[in-house]
Amino acid sequence: MSRSIGQIPEHDRPREKLLRKGASVLSDQELLAVILGKGTVQIDVMALAAKIARIVDDKGLAVRIEDLIAVEGIGEAKATLILAAIEFARRRIKPEGLKITTPADILPLIQHYADRKQEHFLSVTVNGANEVLNVRVVSIGLIDRAPVHPREVFAEVLTDRASGLILAHNHPAGGLEPSAADIQVTNQIKQSGQIVGVPLLDHIIFNRTGYYSFLEAGSLC
């Protein structure tokens, strides 16, 4: 459960932590809390930030103002502030192309999920030049399992008109070696991609210290 700002020691509050340690040490929820500034009488800023984080996880760069203002406590002013921050960051990154040439190139886009206590199964869509179009959370599982079905993955992939797909998921506990379930879902998504014409380019398993790439391991054959 989210703590209210008043329950957090002053030196550990998001804004103060950012000033002392820099933005990179803040969680997604804390970063959003800084952007929001404050909550409402009914809901504190940390709880509000948690709700927004879940929406952005689900929608990725496709998040719209309607998605945000549907949340109690988020009006047009806060919604436009969030969207402006997302768009500003996207424009500063996009000119670089966000081109994926090696599996490690994708880590900066997903590494913040490494600290999540549950498995987050992500889809990363790319265009014909291997430039990232979007990053989405397809499903959130248990501590060691994130069940996913091909239809959940490809529903948004087709919306993006993607030329390729990269899967990724975090391992909150244990090592980086793929489980039998990881191998099975990789094969399912690969076969489905062949049918719809969107090839699976890689499946990356990652944690705080490293990653495993099906492509690099030669396991995507």
pLDDT of residue 192: 94
3-state secondary structure at position 119: coil
pLDDT in tens, 135-147: 888 888 765 566 7
Beta-carbon contacts of residue 72 (< 8 Å; ≥ 6 apart):
40, 42, 43
CATH number of the domain that 148 lies in? 3.40.140.10
Which residues span the domain enclosing 185?
A: 97-213
CB < 8 Å & 24+ apart, contacts of 137-145: 137/57, 137/58, 137/60, 137/113, 142/118, 143/117, 143/118, 143/119, 143/172, 143/173, 144/119, 144/171, 144/172, 144/173, 144/174, 144/179, 145/119, 145/181
pLDDT of residue 198: 95
Q: What's the distance, Cα to Cα, between the start and end of the chain in Å?
A: 43
Tokens 């879940």 map to which residue? 54
CA distances from 213 to 50, 97, 123, 166, 194 (A): 30, 22, 14, 10, 20
The verdict on 67 and 117 lying in the same domain is: no
The Cα 125–Cα 162 span in angstroms is 6
pLDDT in tens, 73-85: 999 999 999 999 8
Out of 94, 129, 160, pick the residue that ends a domain: 94
How many distinct structural domains can be found in the chain? 2
Confidence (pTM) = 0.68
Rounded to the nearest integer, the mean pLDDT of the chain is 86
pLDDT in tens, 81-121: 999 988 887 766 653 457 899 999 999 888 888 888 888 99
The verdict on 115 and 189 lying in the same domain is: yes
The verdict on 134 and 145 lying in the same domain is: yes
**In the chain, pLDDT over 90 holds for what percent of residues?**
43
